Copies of this chain bind each other. A is one copy, B any other.
Amino acid sequence: MEFSSKLLENAVVEMSQLPGIGKRTALRLVLHLLRQPESQTAHLAKALVNLRTEINFCKNCHNISDTEICEICANPRRDKKLVCVVEDVRDVMAIENTSQFKGLYHVLGGKISPMDGIGPSQLTIESLLNKVKAGEITEIIFALSSTMEGDTTNFYIYKQLENTNVQTSTIARGIGVGDELEYADEITLGRSIVNRVPFENSLKNQ
Residue ranges of A at the interface with B (Cβ–Cβ < 8 Å): 1-8, 10-11, 13-15, 17-21, 25, 27-34, 38, 40-56, 58, 63-66, 70-72, 88-90, 92-93, 96-97
Assembled-state Cα–Cα distance A38/B50 (Å): 11
User: Which residues of chain B are near A40, meaning CB under 8 Å?
Assistant: 14, 17
Assess the A34–B6 pair: CB atoms within 8 A: no
Q: Closest B-chain residue to A64, C-beta based? A: B5
Tell me how far the C-beta of A122 lies from the nearest C-beta in chain B, rounded to whole angstroms.
11
Are the CB atoms of A41 and B34 closer together than 8 Å?
A: no
Instruction: Identify which of A31, A43, A44, A56 gathers the most chain B CB atoms within 10 Å of its CB.
Output: A44
* This chain's copy number in the assembly: 2
Given contacts A5-B64, A34-B55, A93-B3, contact A14 B28 (CB under 8 A): no
For A47, give its contact among B2, B4, B14 (CB under 8 Å): B14
Q: Is the CB of B53 within 8 A of A11?
A: no
**Known contacts being A4-B92, A5-B56, is A11 close to B65, with CB within 8 Å?**
no
User: A51 touches which one: B10, B58, B70 (CB < 8 A)?
Assistant: B10
Q: Which 10 A-B pairs have the closest CB atoms?
A: A45-B45, A41-B52, A11-B51, A14-B44, A14-B47, A10-B47, A11-B47, A7-B51, A5-B64, A5-B66
What is the CA–CA distance of A103 and B34 in the complex, to the nearest angstrom?
Answer: 26
B49 touches A45 (CB 8 A): yes
Provide the bound-state CA to CA distance between A11 and B66, in Å.
Answer: 13
8 residue pairs A–B, Cβ–Cβ below 8 Å: A4-B70, A5-B65, A14-B40, A20-B28, A30-B48, A31-B88, A33-B51, A34-B55
Q: Is the CB of B38 within 8 A of A44?
A: no
Question: How far does the alpha carbon of A150 sit from the alpha carbon of B44 in the complex, in Å?
Answer: 31
Q: Check B50–A10 contact: CB distance below 8 A.
A: yes
> What residues of chain B lie closer than 8 Å to A88, measured between beta carbons?
31
Given contacts A70-B4, A92-B4, contact A14 B63 (CB under 8 A): no
